Amino acid sequence: MDYQFKDIEERWQKFWASNKTFKTNTTSEKPKYYVLDMFPYPSGAGLHVGHPLGYIASDIFARYKRLKGFNVLHPMGYDSFGLPAEQYAIQTGQHPAITTESNINTYRKQLDRIGFSFDWDREVRTSDAGYYKWTQWIFMQLFNSWYNIDADKAEPISTLIEKFSTSGTLNVNAVSDDDTIDFQPSDWANYSETQKQEILLKYRLTYLKESTVNWCAALGTVLANDEVKDGFSERGGHPVEQKKMMQWSMRITAYADRLLQGLDTVDWPDPVKEMQKNWIGKSVGASVRFKLNENDALSSELSSQQIEVFTTRIDTIYGVSFLVLAPEHELVSKITTPAQKADVENYIEQTKKKSELDRMADTKSTSGAFTGSYAINPLNGELVPIWIADYVLAGYGTGAVMGVPSGDQRDWLFATKFNLPIQQISDAQVDLNIQADPTKEGKYINSGIINGMDYSAAVATLNQWIEENNVGKAKVNFRMRDAIFGRQRYWGEPIPVYFNDGLPYLIDEEELPLLLPEVDKYLPTETGEPPLARAKDWSYSANKYSYELSTMPGWAGSSWYWFRYMDADNNQAFASKEAIDYWKNVDLYIGGSEHATGHLLYSRFWNKFLKDLGYTQEEEPFKKLINQGMIQGRSNFVYRVADANGKPTNTYVSHGLKAQYNCTAIHVDVNMVVNDQLNIQQFRNWREEFKTAEFILEDGKYICGVEVEKMSKSKYNVVNPDDLIERYGADTLRMYEMFLGPLEQSKPWNTNGIEGVFKFLRKFWKLFHDNEFNFVVSNHEPTKAELKALHKIIKKVQDDIERFSFNTSVSSFMIAVNELTDLKCNKRAILKDLVVILSPYAPHICEELWVLLGEEAGKLSYAQFPMFNPEYLVEDSFSYPVSINGKMRLNLNLSLNLDAKEVESIVLADENVQKYLEGAIPKKVIFVKGRIINIVI
């Protein structure tokens, strides 16, 4: 019997499932290793060939680690709350839970066919009540915590209340959205319950606040910053506008510095670290207050107002020649003089008209308007005009900047356009008539107290001065905002909060989970309330209080799920202490880079928070991260010829000849195309309209055009893994996905080469079988050549897997099996090791051969990865080409002492060369891996 992959794979998948071969125990003498995949959202379309790429890689690594003697945790689950199921529910009325369940079943079937070694007993689903009970529980912990800056960690809110009642705000150094709070312990005692709760809400790590949010009308919900791309929603591409709303937020900004510092401790791809760094956007500088100058047009009350600016270049403050406010800045209307009123209002009007996109596209032109007012530079008392311009953003820093044309190119352009002075403040030789000098070189001139200083001295001096004179202070600013947490949607975790007197309170912990109620429709109510408002008899404490109606965002459930896998069925805790102490954190995490500023950042935040409260041990959740590349679709086209009148005919011209015709490209299903050659019969049967299709061929073939696009149904370029498994088997699919190229690289899918991998597996199978397909192995001692072939592959595969270069190890397998086939090697000792080495890649065929070799079924996964012995790889002949002075390449017979790394004598094979070298003394002999490569004379 030939290699019967279907039979083999079905049999072993059944065996693994019923014997729970990959069940992992938490207590083990072995060292632990945690291999995690980013769990999928179970969409209705099922898996295409790109999805399992990362899963195959992680499965290979998990299996390899088991062979290396580790206790490996390798689980899988579903991120099953989310928008598509809800959108589908709105259209069809079907409960999202039903859609989700059926999608999960499809996913599971598809995953099972690939032969992963997941421990399915640990499966999690974020939409299960048993799971989201703990998502809600973590929310409650966040609500009940504040961030103590002195301790640099989160603490229970009770310690804050303690401080308030003993010493008021005096000893409180906390992250809060209001740094003006100031009271005595006696005040605290006299505050009403409502007042107390209002104050505490400003410190809680999850809090309710009126804030500007990204509102997506089409989706009927708010979105987080990372869910908005260029002014449109990431899912669906609907327009997003800014809107003020009462919203739940997560105080992730409290962790900004730790999130930044932690990046230095993890083994992650640089681009992802870079993205997170930019997203957090730390900038060190100073905040300075400019007093307004008294002015006839302004009331004296206003002249006591100040404009606060944030700058990273306090050292250039003597060069300030104007201030700029964002058009939305609250002071704009107050400080605009009557003479300038029309100008300013006109400018604000223009700014409003510009859409978000226009504003981003138009970064070149400089625009602005003068308010007519002046501020006073606190350092030199000079008057500086106050302008407004849309290059200053209301949402960043203080919404106001100081303009220094000599030190900042944008300020320089602004000054040049509006004829504002450009003051030189550095002795660096730069012509300020041409451009600004943003460098920090040179000594300061025309700069009062910092004249003659260099950059760092100037910054230190000025920071001290502004603090002493109470006009500002050194400050660190972050670009990152707190994360909006509420969503006006149905299919998400209910927020475990009820309202009393307009203030939020947590429900009793005993009442978790707060179940998602049933509703008649999944749309907002007529009055614009979220869908949960439709729930009947859904309120807290015997109808006394109403529940929070928004639900949690998609990222809530995925921000802690790796802990749940450690102890998936626990009903008393999100995971037991023993399980967390043993598994600690994820050693290897594989997933797409699209989660760089979303999931990966939120997960690190929650991980740090849970650590602060003492529930977990590790500061970082994912030690090593690998981003698998995206698999793109490779679309094929046929070219329909139009007749003289431009009317389409039913004739199609091959790609190479299309220039001679007037034709249009039509997507054709890639599954009817092999090596870009169209299967004409299949095409005719594809659709009724093609039944009578005629073809203009080249060399008797119809060649299709090719384009790389996103893989999608509408482009007919989706390749389904099930079809390939049907034809070639799961082992071939697994190996081929790895063979395709480096894991991290994005690439278009191309099925063309899969035959090569399939042929390899057949060849491998045949090594163990004679021509009549009988299983035959010999018990003879292996020869040196056979051992060499074996140990070469042991070393190669081990090195390749350790550095996640799976594509090259597949190639090495092919070489090894070719060598052993040439040697007609069917020796048990060699083949047994070969099966072990190959099993992470092609587990089914290896399991089959393992048993045929007389070993116990199911034990292959825990066999020992063979030890590499370098002795087998030593060269025994020293006749090979060597170059002289890196130039000519000659065959030499050498006699040398390898230990001494010196040539004892050189015997030249060629007389001519001997002549050439006569009398020359080798200056240097270059060895590489014990071989002479080059002789320098």
- Beta-carbon contacts of residue 213 (< 8 Å; ≥ 6 apart): 222, 223, 242, 243, 244, 245, 247, 484
- Closer residue to RNA (CB): 190 or 278: 278
Burial of 180 (0-12, 13-18, 19+ CB in 10 A): exposed
Cα distance between residue 120 and residue 569, in whole Å:
12
Cα distance between residue 84 and residue 710, in whole Å:
19
- Closer residue to RNA (CB): 271 or 648: 271
- Closer residue to RNA (CB): 168 or 378: 378
- Closer residue to RNA (CB): 23 or 759: 759
Query: Shortest approach of RNA to residue 406 CB, angstroms?
Result: 13
- Beta-carbon contacts of residue 828 (< 8 Å; ≥ 6 apart): 777, 778, 779, 853
Query: Shortest approach of RNA to residue 884 CB, angstroms?
Result: 8
**Chain-centroid distance, C-alpha 38:** 10
**Which helix or strand (DSSP H or E) is residue 191 part of?**
none
Are 415 and 309 a contacting pair, CB within 8 Å? no
> What is the SS3 assignment for 126?
coil
Query: Shortest approach of RNA to residue 699 CB, angstroms?
Result: 8
- Closer residue to RNA (CB): 26 or 366: 366
Return the closest-CA partner of residue 445 out of 465, 427, 422: 427
Query: Shortest approach of RNA to residue 747 CB, angstroms?
Result: 4
Query: Shortest approach of RNA to residue 757 CB, angstroms?
Result: 7
Cα distance between residue 310 and residue 698, in whole Å:
68
Cα distance between residue 776 and residue 790, in whole Å:
19
Query: Shortest approach of RNA to residue 309 CB, angstroms?
Result: 7
Residue ranges at the known binding site for ATP: 713
Return the closest-CA partner of residue 816 out of 825, 804, 807, 806: 825
Are 605 and 556 a contacting pair, CB within 8 Å? no
Cα distance between residue 262 and residue 211, in whole Å:
29
Amino acid at residue number 157: I
- Closer residue to RNA (CB): 99 or 463: 463
- Side-chain-facing half-sphere of 561: CA atoms under 13 Å: 29
Query: Shortest approach of RNA to residue 582 CB, angstroms?
Result: 33
Q: Is 94 left (phi over 0), alpha (psi -120 to 50) or beta?
A: beta
Long-range contacts of 912-920 (CB under 8 A, 24+ apart): 916/884, 917/884
> What is the SS3 assignment for 332?
helix
Angstrom CA distances, 273 to 128, 260, 263, 266, 593, stand at 32, 9, 6, 9, 11
- Closer residue to RNA (CB): 285 or 492: 285
Query: Shortest approach of RNA to residue 390 CB, angstroms?
Result: 5
- Closer residue to RNA (CB): 271 or 421: 271
- Closer residue to RNA (CB): 143 or 290: 290
- Closer residue to RNA (CB): 156 or 281: 281
Cα distance between residue 323 and residue 379, in whole Å:
14
> What is the SS3 assignment for 873?
helix
- Closer residue to RNA (CB): 762 or 832: 762
- Closer residue to RNA (CB): 69 or 753: 753
Cα distance between residue 770 and residue 799, in whole Å:
33
Cα distance between residue 615 and residue 9, in whole Å:
42
Angle ∠(103,106,109) on CA atoms, nearest 5: 150
Question: What are the tokens at 604?
Answer: 């690190």
